[in-house]
Amino acid sequence: MPHSDDTSFPVSETSRIRRYHERGSHERQAVYAVLDASPICHVGYVIEDQPYVTPTLHWRLGDRIFWHGSSASRFLKQTREHKVCLTVTLIDGFVLARSAFNHSVNYRSAMVFGVAHQLTDPAEKEASLKAMTEDFYPGRWDKLRPITAQEIKATAVLYMDIAEASVKVRSGPPGDQAEADFPVWAGLVPLQTILSDPRVDGDPDHPLPVLSARLGAKT
């Protein structure tokens, strides 16, 4: 029986966490935190029994997730309901244990289920593209050469309302302290996504853009 409340997303057989459930949650804030921590997601959809997984940029307003959806155009031409699974994954480090079996990865991953729709109203599309630009580069939209009607038309924006969602997180050292005497190095190798110094194209005298923390850590 689906269960939902203010703090958690509903759970069905689709989203129930089957493995390492101690690492998992359906809590809204935990799901949002992972979705918002990376600008990149992988969207899964089905065309005639064939799964497709497409990387794209996403942004979120409440329980609605938006993404660039051009490569899904064939998908949206199907007459049936457009079920999607949108997954965001951050790798925080490699976990080296004393046995191969206990090797692992520290990660945060959110898996979100829903039905995809396409924005068609030009004003809604423009508002959404502005929200994306501001989400990535705060304050940038109003400084840009204004968007044209043709550009809005040429940009596909898809969205889904989160129907179900789960999040999984692994952190900490290897889980093999019981055999800590085994004579091999064990520990963590942290992994970070780092933004390097911007490389200007054109006039270097314009003020540098503001980069959202979503994009990566600064050097």
Residues of this chain, 153-182, that bind a second copy according to CB under 8 A: 154-155, 173-174, 177, 179-180, 182
Instruction: Give the nearest distance from C-beta 61 to a second copy in angstroms.
Output: 17
- Binding to a second copy in span 89-108, by CB under 8 A: 89, 91, 93-94, 96, 98-101, 103, 105, 107
Instruction: Give the nearest distance from C-beta 81 to a second copy in angstroms.
Output: 9
Residue type, 183: P
Nearer to a second copy, 1 or 149 (CB): 149
- Binding to a second copy in span 180-209, by CB under 8 A: 180, 182-203, 206-209
Smallest CA-to-CA distance from 135 within 55, 36, 30, 32 is with 36
- Binding to a second copy in span 131-150, by CB under 8 A: 133, 136-137, 140-141, 143-148
Nearer to a second copy, 62 or 190 (CB): 190
Region for 180 from its dihedrals, namely left if φ exceeds 0, alpha if ψ lies in -120 to 50, beta otherwise: alpha
Asked if 33 interacts with a second copy (CB under 8 A), we say no
Exposed/middle/buried for 86, CB within 10 Å: 0-12, 13-18, 19+? buried
User: Which residues neighbour 194 within 8 Å (Cβ) at sequence distance 6 or greater?
Assistant: 216, 217, 218, 219
Nearer to a second copy, 60 or 128 (CB): 128
Nearer to a second copy, 79 or 101 (CB): 101
Which whole-number Å values give the CA distances from 83 to 23, 46, 104, 200, in the listed order? 26, 8, 31, 41
Q: Which part of the chain contacts a second copy (CB under 8 A), choosing from 28-36, 59-67, 87-95, 117-125?
A: 87-95
Instruction: Give the nearest distance from C-beta 6 to a second copy in angstroms.
Output: 26
Instruction: Give the nearest distance from C-beta 32 to a second copy in angstroms.
Output: 18
Work out the number of other CB atoms within 10 angstroms of the CB of residue 162: 21
Residue of 30, 31, 35, 84 that binds a second copy (CB under 8 A): 84
**Which residue in this structure is represented by tokens 């998992």?**
24
* CB-based contact 168:109 (threshold 8 Å): yes
- Binding to a second copy in span 111-130, by CB under 8 A: 111, 113, 129-130
In degrees, to the nearest 5, what angle opens at C-alpha 117 toward C-alphas 3 and 44?
75
